[in-house]
Chain A
């Protein structure tokens, strides 16, 4: 079983739509959680860390459910510029290794 699993998509949504991605992780010892954004042929860039209490940054909201071992990302009022691949990343601090999902591709259409 993969450490981190994501629906590869693509999610095709119109501008202004709300879209949600989920990600599941297999190891209950995981301690740090992140969402990264990767544009085509570019490096991944941190979108937001995910905290137990949930956190929001503008149009983006991240949630963590430790009991069910999943992380979610909600994007409200989608913009054309949100089109990218979104990577779910999990860290088990004691090994200092990061585990990446394969990414979910989002296409926002005019």
Chain B
């Protein structure tokens, strides 16, 4: 099946810990995105990548980092500098021509 997978579904972070969220797609899409959603709120863009080995900051990049070494993969690291990381994290991909975005099932990050 073609699609986007995210893992884990739930992730617990301790104080001062870096954690990495996985996002993989087999849709052959060039563009990939990370969003954060807080309860009752809309999606906010963290980072996006239009092509391998290139990525741009979104609106709330502070405390996060990404890499895009392969077309299929766009992992997000939530660093200890992100003081309020509890949220629902969504990964998405698109062809990169302004066409539809498709989303993974999301990862819920909770702080212990």
Contact = CB atoms under 8 A, between A and B. Distances in A.
Interface of A: 31-32, 34, 41-46, 49, 87, 89, 91-93, 96-98, 100-103
A105 B106 CA distance: 20
B43 A100 contact: yes
Interface in B75-101: 88, 90, 94, 96-101
A43 B23 CA distance: 14
Contacts, number: 49
A31 B90 contact: no
Contacts of B27: none
A45 B100 contact: no
Interface residues of B, number: 24
Contacts of B96: 96
Contacts of B98: 31-32, 91-93, 96
Contacts of A43: 90, 103-106
Given A89-B101, A93-B97, 20 more contacts: A31-B98, A32-B98, A32-B99, A34-B100, A43-B103, A44-B43, A44-B90, A44-B103, A45-B103, A46-B101, A87-B42, A87-B43, A91-B98, A96-B31, A96-B48, A98-B33, A98-B45, A100-B42, A100-B43, A101-B42
